[in-house]
């Protein structure tokens, strides 16, 4: 009976070790997180696990967009997605599909912008509003800078900063070359001509003068004062 008892003991130890190993490699329920996904004006939430890889997040987004007919009848394919994680210190492109979400430090209620490969998110910065507002204008690499500016102008009209009446001629366009923002001057050139990569950033700064805006404000105050006198 003793050898049999030793065998049972060995089996018990082995089973215990296997169970501990499985618990270590299996994600716990506390690893579950919800991610806010923004695709233009469309917003939705995806449930994932911190142990999921970026590609698995893309698969879930593809499934959700297909079920809800977002981006077309077949949804947005994972291989066509470009994900950008919004953080307090800037925006981080999730460019490595094999990276785990936990390695990026993504937590619950994180916000991820969904763009399409070959399209570029555009950031707008106004000198009167130092905070950066993400407009995420979809820009094709084959489009000229002049066309891009017109599209940005139209997008600005739809946003909270549309009241500034910004014209395409007032816009200075820059792109990030991995070291610094470089001005884009030639409006006849295309995005592709500048060699901007798919996960690159475009930045827009308004070049309208503060004096013009202040004059508008002063004139409005004068009109109000005249109305007050007439009422009296």
CATH code, domain with 205? 3.10.20.90
Both ends of the chain: CA-CA distance in Å? 112
pLDDT in tens, 102-115: 898 898 999 998 87
- 77 lies in a domain? yes
> Residue 76 in contact with residue 62, Cβ under 8 Å?
yes
What's the number of domains the chain is made of? 2
User: 179 and 136 share a domain?
Assistant: yes
User: 141 and 91 share a domain?
Assistant: no
Domain boundary among 116, 148, 165: 116
Any residues with CB less than 8 A from the CB of 31 and at least 6 apart, and which? 49, 50, 51, 102
User: 98 and 153 share a domain?
Assistant: no
- 166 lies in a domain? yes
DSSP E strand stretches across 11-139: 32-39, 42-49, 81-87, 90-93, 110-116, 122-126, 129-134
Say what the pTM is.
0.46
pLDDT in tens, 41-72: 789 999 999 889 999 999 999 999 999 988 77
3-class DSSP assignment, residue 181: strand
Domain boundary among 116, 137, 169: 116
- 221 lies in a domain? no
pLDDT at 50: 86
- Nearest partner of 174 among 191, 160, 188, judged by Cα: 191
32 backbone dihedrals φ, ψ, rounded to 5°: -70, 130
72 backbone dihedrals φ, ψ, rounded to 5°: 130, 170
User: 105 and 167 share a domain?
Assistant: no
Domain boundary among 81, 116, 151: 116
> Residue 61 in contact with residue 71, Cβ under 8 Å?
no
Lookup: tokens for 129: 């509003």
User: 111 and 133 share a domain?
Assistant: no
User: 110 and 143 share a domain?
Assistant: no
Percent of the chain residues topping a pLDDT of 70: 55
> Residue 61 in contact with residue 76, Cβ under 8 Å?
yes
User: 47 and 106 share a domain?
Assistant: yes
Res. 135 pLDDT band, cuts 50 70 90: low
User: 104 and 160 share a domain?
Assistant: no
> Residue 170 in contact with residue 126, Cβ under 8 Å?
no
When pLDDT is averaged across residues 138-153 and rounded to a whole number, the result is: 80
User: 128 and 203 share a domain?
Assistant: yes
Within a 10 A sphere around the Cβ of 61, how many other Cβ atoms? Answer: 26
114 backbone dihedrals φ, ψ, rounded to 5°: -105, 115
User: 84 and 131 share a domain?
Assistant: no
Q: Of residues 176 and 221, which shows the higher confidence score?
A: 176
> Which structural domain range is residue 55 located in?
29-116
Within a 10 A sphere around the Cβ of 80, how many other Cβ atoms? Answer: 15
Beta bridge partners of 51: none
- 91 lies in a domain? yes
pLDDT in tens, 191-227: 788 877 655 567 766 444 333 333 334 433 444 444 4
- 199 lies in a domain? yes
> Residue 64 in contact with residue 76, Cβ under 8 Å?
no
User: 83 and 154 share a domain?
Assistant: no
> Residue 71 in contact with residue 47, Cβ under 8 Å?
no
pLDDT in tens, 83-133: 888 887 777 888 888 999 989 889 899 999 887 665 555 655 544 444 445
User: 133 and 107 share a domain?
Assistant: no
Indicate whether 150 pLDDT > 90: no
| Mode of pairing for the β-strands spanning 129-134 and 122-126 | antiparallel
- 133 lies in a domain? yes
3-class DSSP assignment, residue 49: strand
């Amino acid at each position: 009976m003793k050898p049999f008892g030793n065998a049972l003991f060995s089996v018990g130890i082995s089973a215990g070790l296997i169970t501990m190993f499985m618990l270590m490699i299996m994600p716990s329920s506390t690893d579950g997180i919800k991610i806010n996904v923004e695709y233009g004006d469309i917003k939705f939430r995806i449930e994932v696990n911190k142990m999921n890889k970026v590609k698995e997040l893309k698969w879930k987004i593809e499934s959700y967009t297909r079920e809800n007919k977002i981006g077309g009848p077949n949804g947005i394919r994972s291989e066509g997605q470009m994900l950008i994680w919004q953080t307090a210190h800037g925006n981080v492109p999730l460019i490595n599909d094999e990276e785990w979400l936990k390695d990026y430090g993504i937590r619950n209620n994180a916000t991820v912008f969904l763009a399409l490969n070959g399209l570029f998110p555009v950031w707008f910065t106004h000198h009167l509003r130092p905070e950066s507002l993400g407009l995420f204008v979809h820009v094709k690499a084959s489009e000229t800078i002049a066309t891009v500016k017109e599209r940005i102008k139209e997008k600005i009209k739809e946003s909270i900063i549309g009241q500034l009446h910004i014209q395409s001629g007032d816009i200075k366009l820059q792109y990030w070359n991995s070291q610094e923002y470089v001005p884009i001057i030639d409006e006849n050139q295309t995005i592709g001509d500048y060699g901007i990569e798919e996960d690159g950033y475009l930045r827009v700064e308004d070049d309208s003068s503060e004096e013009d805006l202040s004059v508008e404000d002063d004139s409005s105050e004068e009109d109000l004062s005249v109305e007050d006198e007439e009422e009296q």
